[in-house]
Amino acid sequence: MNTGTHYAPVRCRVADCDAFALTGADTCWTHLQDRDAWRMKLADLDLNAAWLAGVDLSGRDLSGWDLRSARLSGACLRGANLNGADLRDTFLDGADLAGATFEEANLEFAILGGADASGASFRGANLQRANLVGTRAHGADFSGANLYYARPGNADLEGAIFHNATIQRTIFRHANLKDADLSGVEGSANFENANLEGVAR
């Protein structure tokens, strides 16, 4: 069984495939034949720094899981439950996070650039220093979240809710915050060239 990690990935065993094998498998997601069996054993694997790029874990209950430094780039986590999960330094760039819940999760230094987090819930989450550059998060709920020094520059946050969130030094440069709810926020953020049309304060 492949125990390759984000830091030392192993090539997919399929000839002429340049992708890396998933942690707990000997192939990449594209060539993984029994995906259900692989999903079933995930809870028994050490997923700290795991290679999980491109996987489909939509709708799965991953609450409280330790996914620190895991590579979930391009993964589908649509509607998944990641409440209370440890996602520090985790790569979620380009992932489908629509409708997923990250309530009270730890996403410090996580990378969500280019992800689709529309309708996702980050209520009470730790997003300190997280990279959300170019993230699409229409109607996402960041109520009570800590976004200290987070970087949602160029993000599409139309209708997002930041009620009572901490936005000290958060960089919203060029972000779309049309109709967003910034009521009760704490801290001073950078809104340079951001779209603040219809923002509730």
Q: Which domains does the chain have, with CATH numbers?
A: 87-201 (2.160.20.80)
For residue 138, what pLDDT is reported?
Answer: 98
For residue 8, what pLDDT is reported?
Answer: 81
3-class SS of residue 40 = helix
For residue 47, what pLDDT is reported?
Answer: 96
Its pTM stands at 0.95
For residue 71, give the DSSP letter: B
- Rounded distance, CA 141 to CA 180, Å? 10
3-class SS of residue 131 = strand
CA atoms within 13 A on the CB side of 172: 25
Q: Which run of H or of E encompasses 41?
A: helix 35-41
- For residues 95 and 115, the answer to whether their CB atoms sit within 8 Å is yes
Which of 81, 41, 87, 38 has its CA nearest to residue 67?
87
Q: What is the pLDDT along the chain (201 residues), one digit of tens a residue?
A: 565 566 688 999 999 999 999 999 999 999 999 999 999 999 999 999 999 999 999 999 999 999 999 999 999 999 999 999 999 999 999 999 999 999 999 999 999 999 999 999 999 999 999 999 999 999 999 999 999 999 999 999 999 999 999 999 999 999 999 999 999 999 999 999 999 999 999
Which of 88, 57, 51, 95 has its CA nearest to residue 73?
95
Q: How many CB atoms lie within 10 A of CB 13?
A: 13
For residue 44, give the DSSP letter: G
